[in-house]
Amino acid sequence: MTRPEAVAGVADADLDGRTVFVTGATHGVGRETALALGRLGARVLVHGRDRTAGRALANELRELDANPVFVRADFADPDAPSELAAAVADRVDELDVLVNNAGAHFDGPSLAAGVERTFRVNHLSPFELTRELLDDLAPQGRVVTVASAVHGRATASDLTTEAVTTVDDYDGFQAYARSKLANVLFSRELAARNPDKLVNSLHPGFVPGSELWRDASFPVSALMPALGVLPAFVLERIADTVETAAATSVYLAAADDYDVTGEYFSNTNPKTPSATARDDDLARELWDRTESLIANPPTPASDD
């Protein structure tokens, strides 16, 4: 097995004295990210929905002397981000790195507190969590947000308030693409508003072994885990393992050879995202719309 820190070229990085928080860390790419950062010497706080898996991960991190804390939260719950941020702030003096890794793909249409579920889990919750933790982030602290190359399928019209508060004509993959476009734009605008931080988004790769597909349609949710258990030397020819997929997150969290911010990365290198994802006006508009959705949530009575 090739470890993420080796793929990222940061196996010699020393994160002793630094504190990182990885969301969606109980399985897949997030788990490998958390373990890699623990091996590099960081104190690692982790989040997930599965308490049993979270405790198991915390035990592994404890063996690495990573002084872990596991906090459970469900990003479909609109109260979760602020509660999670408060729990983290209570446990750290200062946060050096926030890795927004948590994400989901939902095949069927549903709303979570009045907002399309994928958009809430993948964009609204990370947005609010990050905003709540900014005051706890160290000078030159880092925010790493896991997006996806599929963001290129989404357009500006996918991001209107009306588009994200309805599930009419729902397309699960398009909803996922929309949320990933939001991730890239959010990271871009967050960097513009906080020039003292290092803020970047990334494409992890095509990762069949990820828990991302757990709520997809049956053929997809069955096929992806089957691909994910192929031997690494076979899988790496057609896709990414969870270890190689974690490499760019680990690089952005640990490397000391870059100082760019507001960029989009793939395979540990900057890459040009879609034209829509480079629209600074749209990034500002999305920020304002997101704040409005959080401050004035749609009525939960409309949820499915």
Tell me, yes or no, if 176 is annotated catalytic.
yes
Q: How far apart are CA 36 and CA 57, in angstroms?
A: 12
Q: How far apart are CA 37 and CA 246, in angstroms?
A: 10
Q: In the chain, which ranges are continuous DSSP H helix?
A: 4-7, 28-39, 51-63, 80-91, 117-119, 125-133, 161-164, 172-193, 218-228, 232-235, 242-245, 247-254, 280-295
Is residue 227 within 8 Å of 209, Cβ to Cβ? yes
Catalytic residue among 176, 251, 258, 264: 176
Q: Which residues contact 143 (CB under 8 A, 6 or more apart)?
A: 97, 98, 100, 130, 137, 187, 190, 197, 198, 199, 200
Is residue 8 within 8 Å of 265, Cβ to Cβ? no
Question: DSSP characters for 185-214?
Answer: HHHHHHHHH-TTSEEEEEE----TTSGGGG
Q: Beta-carbon neighbour count of residue 142 at 10 Å?
A: 22
Give the active site residues: 176
